[in-house]
Amino acid sequence: MIFKLWQPSMNGINLMVNVNTRRAFLLQSCVMTASVAFASSPASTLPLPTEGDSEKPYDVNRKFYEDGTARPFAGNTIISQIPLRPPLNEALTVVRNTLANYEFSQCLSLLPPSSYHMTVFEGVIDEKRKAPFWPSEVPSNAPIQACTQYFTARLKNFFIEENFQIQMHIDDFNVYKDSGATVRLVPANSHETQKLNDVRDRLANCLGIRSPHHDDYGFHITLGYLVKWMNAQQIQDYELVQQSCRAYLKKTLSIL
């Protein structure tokens, strides 16, 4: 299998860098990734402004321009890419296309199916250059590419057994938990949870970074980002559509 270390280019095009290890492997969780391979965003309770919110949704002028197009967002992360074939990508694309048919979709920047993935382990981003988000062995003013090269060198000695897979279940798809279009995932059982936790703990030790939320990281597949606040009616409509989509995904994808 092949480990995927993702690094966004500075012109907004996503790049996948294969990192060869003693045994090539792909963290193809459930034969399966948030975000145009972007790092995950803080979850909002509702996709409409509340007291204390900024004028724009969180990712506007950060990961996206106001018109919904992707903007440069330098960083790297380790992901499990979703292959462009049935049944997984096909089911997610059905959901994406369903969302696109509704008025509320104008508030979302829906991502291309080729970008779908589950983040296995968050790497670094340009805007967070202090411990524990940045490895102490890399100068805090070094370019992202230098950090990616450091990670690549470290991962060459990272061991994982052949045919390693993690089985995941669809957990939720709920506008009241995530303001964008985020499909939440959970490991299929306690054994899968332990396998995933073990890999993540070893990656943290290998790469020298460990987020404060390492132990309670929420696994997910991002189908789109909120780029415009929804009104109350749009939220209500979105919730109803999500309920149908969630039922469809759970029926179609019992195990990822």
In terms of pLDDT, which residue wins out, 161 or 209?
209
Give CA separation, 194 vs 51, 81, 181, 201, in Å.
39, 21, 27, 10
Asked, as a colleague might, if the bond just before 139 is cis with ω within 30 of 0, I would say no
User: Are 207 and 104 contacting, i.e. CB atoms less than 8 angstroms apart?
Assistant: no
pTM above 0.85, yes or no: no
- For residues 234 and 103, what is the distance between their CA atoms, to the nearest angstrom? 7
80 Cβ partners below 8 Å, 6+ apart?
4, 26, 27, 28, 29, 32, 33, 117, 118, 120, 166
For each of the domains in the chain, give its residue range(s) and CATH number, in order of start.
Answer: 3-252 (3.90.1140.10)
- For residues 18 and 203, what is the distance between their CA atoms, to the nearest angstrom? 16
pLDDT in tens, 37-57: 333 444 444 566 654 556 888
233 Cβ partners below 8 Å, 6+ apart?
none
Q: Is the pLDDT of residue 129 over 50?
A: yes
pLDDT of residue 47: 66
Average pLDDT of span 57-81: 88
Residue type, 2: I
What percent of the chain is modeled with pLDDT above 70?
79
Average pLDDT of span 148-154: 95
For tokens 């890999």, what's the residue?
199
Pick from 45, 37, 2: which is nearest to 20 by CA? 2
